Amino acid sequence: MSGIPDQRGRPVPRDVLGPVAPAPGEPAFDDDHPPRRDLVDDCVHCGFCLPTCPTYVLWGEEMDSPRGRIHLMEQGLDGEPLSPSMVAHVDRCLGCMACVTACPSGVRYDRLIEDTRQQVERRHRRPRRERALRAAVFALFPYPRRLRLLRGPLRAYQATGLRALVRRTGLLPRLAPTLAALDALAPPIGRAARVPRRVPARGTRRARVGMLTGCVQHAFFPQVNAATARVLAAEGCEVLILPERQGCCGALSVHNGRRAEARRFARALLDVFDSAGVDFFVVNAAGCGSALKDYGELLADDPAYADRAAAFAASVRDLSELLVELGPVAPRHPLPVTVAYHDACHLAHAQGVRAQPRKLLAAVPGLAVREIADPEICCGSAGVWNVLSPEPAGQLGERKAAHVLATGADLLVTANPGCLLQIASAARRLGRRLPVAHTVEVLDASIHGRGVDELLR
Ligand code: SF4
Ligand code: SF4
């Protein structure tokens, strides 16, 4: 990557320089990773992707479909400026990658939107309010320690009745829709489960694995990380966690065009784990898994990290992939429960992992798995999309929750913390309580004979 020279004449990468707004009328994209023309040209405009695109489903607007967005990218490559309306259509994309699954021509929309977004973030100056909101979101969410500091105040807010009072007034959604969305999404804050640095394998060691603790997962779902470590250990894995040394993996940043930030996070995580001698690096959050598997591409032009990043990315597994790859050794106890399994977009569309979680769930004695209608359509969580765009996210959430409730299942199971929060909160708005659990919590309950009541609380 070329750039402006520093004081010693060395080129400074553009992603270190910060936003450089284009002059009025300048083409939308500069030469620092613009969306690739050859990938744009792969689109044959057939429209097969349209019915799977959540924004097209919501609004029926061509420019809010994958085909329309690719057309806008083409206009940008042809020299059109980065107009506010072009940015709005790019911003409205959830990055769910349902269009990648649906496309018969193999269009790499994932690459295209990632490159387009980083151009938008560097070259488009948003209105002040939007800038402030985004600054606050990205100063908080990718920082597990800052998120954990919120646990105390949030617990007090929930426990003292203040939350109930705020909700009774009905003012929050009208005065501050983003805060209202955060309030609706916040899970009940229980006791913080501590995750150890290392967990030994039970019985014969079959693999040594590193484990990502994540940001939202670490702060608000520590029980999912604890269950992940227990299940891996029960299946013969030594688990190296090092929670005090881990930070964000960069998923949120890279999926929102903050490439420089994502690269910083990726390098830091590599420094912790790529010399730790692990056979696999395991992830239990879909969005993080898809970003980690792309580290090779993210750091391809960094001579100090490119090879390490590619090797590390090849070792990354979603938890369900690894458990199926290893095969079960821990006996399962019966769990008489009917679950609806929700495909998290970044697991199903971005990583192609659909069969493994179903296989693991179906192998639990007494457990029945029901499928949800329109599984390819996103629930509206999409990283922080539900915080930045609360209204359409709420509509998608309610649509998904209604489909889940229609299955008649006792429990919703999925593999992403954002989806769990989003669908449970949408079900509450529909006047229903929907117990939710991560796939690994179900496996943990079965392996350790804990019974189903704990999952249905
Ligand atoms: S990633 Fe999702 S929201 Fe974006 S264009 Fe594709 S299907 Fe639509
Ligand atoms: S992205 Fe694929 S499915 Fe969608 S219009 Fe283009 S070629 Fe067709």
Task: Give the pLDDT confidence score for residue 16 in this predicted structure.
Answer: 40
Q: Whose CA is nearest to atom 4 of ligand 2?
A: 49
Q: Whose CA is nearest to atom 8 of ligand 2?
A: 46
Task: Give the pLDDT confidence score for residue 4 in this predicted structure.
Answer: 37
User: Taking the chain (457 residues) in consecutive chunks of 10 residues, what is each chunk's mean pLDDT?
Assistant: 39 44 81 97 98 97 98 97 95 97 98 97 93 92 88 82 78 77 77 85 97 90 94 98 91 95 97 92 96 97 96 97 98 97 97 98 98 97 91 96 98 94 94 96 97 90
Q: Is 43 in the pocket of ligand 2 (CB under 6 A)?
A: yes
Task: Give the pLDDT confidence score for residue 175 in this predicted structure.
Answer: 75
Ligand nearest to the CA of 107: 2
Taking Cα atoms as reference points, which of 340, 341, 343, 456 lies closest to residue 407?
340
Q: Is 418 in the pocket of ligand 2 (CB under 6 A)?
A: no
Task: Give the pLDDT confidence score for residue 21 in this predicted structure.
Answer: 61
Q: Whose CA is nearest to atom 6 of ligand 2?
A: 43
How remote is the CA of residue 336 from the centroid of ligand 1, in Å? 37
Q: Whose CA is nearest to atom 7 of ligand 1?
A: 53
The residue whose CB lies within 8 Å of the most ligand 2 atoms, and thus the one to mutate among 38, 39, 44, is 44
